[in-house]
Amino acid sequence: MRIVHVSDCYAPRTGGIESQVGDLAARQAEQGHDVHVLTATLGVAGERGGVVDVEHGVHVHRLGARLPFDLPINPAAGPRLLRTAFDGLRPDVVHVHAGVLSPFAFDGARLALDAGLPTAVTWHCMLDGTVPALRGAVRRTRWADAPVALSAVSSAAAARVEAVFETPVAVVPNGLDLDAWAPDTDSTTPAADDETAPVRLVSTMRLAPRKRAVPLVELVGAAARRLPHGRLHLSIIGSGPALGRVRSAVSAQGLDGVVDLRGRLTRPQVRAAYAHADVFLAPAELEAFGIAALEARTAGLAIVARRGTGIAEFVTDGVDGLLVADDAEMTEAVVHLAKDGRLLAGIRTHNRTIRPAFGWDDVLGAALAEYERARAMR
């Protein structure tokens, strides 16, 4: 099957959509499919305007333009380049990957439908706050009756998309190499009755306001003040525009010896960090899936995350971790796990021995089902 993915963002940019589209495309190429990615993201050396790279068996078409900050858009030439690519490739299916603001992807969906191509759209975001406006736009345009297979990366995200389009929405989850993230068999969890060893917290995120790194530091500070000195240690993995604000928050909370800002790490480095951690904290309120949390869950860490997010797809409250309603409850959860060593050890033992779902076999099967649904619609 010739599969064409359309995504505003792609490697060398880093982020959830970029990594998932790249991994999905590479896995499909390994299965023998002819896989192409059309993206507005420039290549490492600034490749753009239709240059094609072959990466991990995937043909990556760089259709972006040189713009300030390397924004992954091409409003002037993007539609023309997309149309030319569709005409030349004649794909069996077009798989569009959408966020709230994805002008290149939306152009790809529109042009694929215009060309009569089977089209599947997966939403990688939560549409909270935009549903009424988007529903009105859909009702006023041809999107209400468009023959497109709609999906989202979690049930929580799919519910918002269903509210917009008023039609059933499938789930095509993010995927993970479960073997690569599994904990070492010779490592151990902390003793349940050890009340002196620090509880090692970790959070991996892009340091941007939406991911809420500053509130994370503040809630950990509130927890630390309720526990003996040295009981908590937090590592924050990632970088981004909010780094300065995060550093200021660490100092303001008096956590200079408690919080370690690790910066951006490679995947092997993240796995190594998880081998020395106990609890993963996910403070984001609008997490459509939470691939970093899934990686940590697979590595055997207890997860503390917000209810109503995509993380609830693989975290059951009290089993894989704790789900909370707000920052105050997250503080309580951290204190609870620090004081109740038996609970923390029990969750970690469960997570080390019971694998979550969302291995690549699950994801590839879900994507293929959407492709068949899109082809049937045409």
Encoded amino acid at 105, one letter: A
Residue indicated by tokens 């993380």? 311
Residues 126-147, mean pLDDT to the nearest whole number: 90
In this structure, are 220 and 337 located in the same domain?
yes
In this structure, are 344 and 365 located in the same domain?
no
58-72, 178-192, 198-212: which range is least confident on average?
178-192
Residues 354-360, mean pLDDT to the nearest whole number: 93
Residues 290-309, mean pLDDT to the nearest whole number: 97
pLDDT digits (tens, 9 = 90+) for 139-191: 998 888 899 999 999 999 999 999 999 999 999 999 999 999 999 876 555 55
pTM above 0.85, yes or no: yes
Whether the per-residue pLDDT at 298 is higher than 70: the answer is yes
- pLDDT in the model for residue 88: 97
In this structure, are 282 and 146 located in the same domain?
no
Q: Considering its fold, how many domains does the chain have in total? A: 2
In this structure, are 168 and 241 located in the same domain?
no
Q: What are the residues whose beta carbons fall under 8 Å from the beta carbon of 134, sequence distance 6 or more?
A: 127, 164
In this structure, are 136 and 187 located in the same domain?
no
Tokens of 306: 């917000």
- pLDDT in the model for residue 195: 65
In this structure, are 365 and 334 located in the same domain?
no
Residues 312-316, mean pLDDT to the nearest whole number: 96
Domain extent, residue 149, equals 2-175+359-377
Give the rounded percent of residues in the chain with a pLDDT score beyond 90: 87
* Contact by Cβ (8 Å): 152, 308: no
Residues 293-298, mean pLDDT to the nearest whole number: 98
Encoded amino acid at 182, one letter: A
In this structure, are 170 and 255 located in the same domain?
no
* Contact by Cβ (8 Å): 293, 356: no
Band of residue 5 on the pLDDT scale cut at 50, 70, 90:
very high
Whether the per-residue pLDDT at 310 is higher than 80: the answer is yes
- pLDDT in the model for residue 73: 87
In this structure, are 7 and 21 located in the same domain?
yes
Whether the per-residue pLDDT at 193 is higher than 80: the answer is no
- pLDDT in the model for residue 239: 94
- pLDDT in the model for residue 3: 98
pLDDT digits (tens, 9 = 90+) for 261-293: 999 999 999 999 999 999 999 999 999 999 999
CATH number at residue 150: 3.40.50.2000
- pLDDT in the model for residue 219: 98
- Which of these, 89, 154, 90, lies nearest to 126 by C-alpha position? 154
In this structure, are 167 and 243 located in the same domain?
no
pLDDT, the chain, mean:
94
- pLDDT in the model for residue 142: 86
Distance separating alpha carbons of residues 163 and 165, to the nearest angstrom: 6
- pLDDT in the model for residue 68: 86
In this structure, are 292 and 171 located in the same domain?
no
In this structure, are 187 and 161 located in the same domain?
no
Tell me the CB-side half-sphere exposure of residue 349, using CA atoms within 13 A. 9
- Compute CA distances 313 → 67, 155, 306, whole Å: 38, 7, 12
Q: Cα 367 vs. chain centroid, distance in angstroms?
A: 16
- pLDDT in the model for residue 197: 84
Residues 250-260, mean pLDDT to the nearest whole number: 95
In this structure, are 46 and 170 located in the same domain?
yes
Q: What is the DSSP string of 130-144?
A: THHHHHHHHHHSGGG
